[in-house]
């Protein structure tokens, strides 16, 4: 299955991923907003047995979380309303 085979409901996750690739600190940053999302939903812990986002959560604003990143995070989390974690994880596997 490819990214194009997934329904449109997954688009907010891809949008957040794409935004984070253009994040000022780059996709390899320890404080990438998409990695924050992946830690929050348990993806990195499930797949790699680690947490990837390195900044203290209470200092996320200092590392670039503004209203845009919070909006994208919220939209990505809405996908979880009617989609199982494993289905979302498989989609994310293709992204990362």
How far is 8 from 57, CA to CA, in rounded Å?
30
Which residues are CB-neighbours of 68 under 8 A, at least 6 positions away?
19
pTM summary value:
0.87
Contact 51, 43 (CB under 8 A): no
Residue 70 burial (CB count, 10 A): 13
pLDDT tens for 4-43 read 999 999 999 999 999 988 776 544 556 788 988 999 999 9
How far is 22 from 37, CA to CA, in rounded Å?
16
């Amino acid at each position: 299955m490819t990214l194009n085979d997934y329904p449109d409901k997954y688009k907010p996750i891809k949008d957040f991923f794409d935004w984070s690739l253009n994040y000022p600190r780059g996709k390899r940053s320890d404080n990438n907003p998409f990695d924050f999302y992946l830690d929050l939903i348990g993806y990195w812990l499930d797949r790699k047995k680690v947490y990837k986002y390195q900044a203290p959560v209470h200092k996320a604003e200092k590392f670039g979380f503004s209203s845009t990143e919070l909006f994208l995070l919220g939209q990505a989390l809405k996908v979880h309303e009617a989609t199982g974690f494993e289905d979302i994880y498989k989609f994310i596997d293709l992204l990362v």
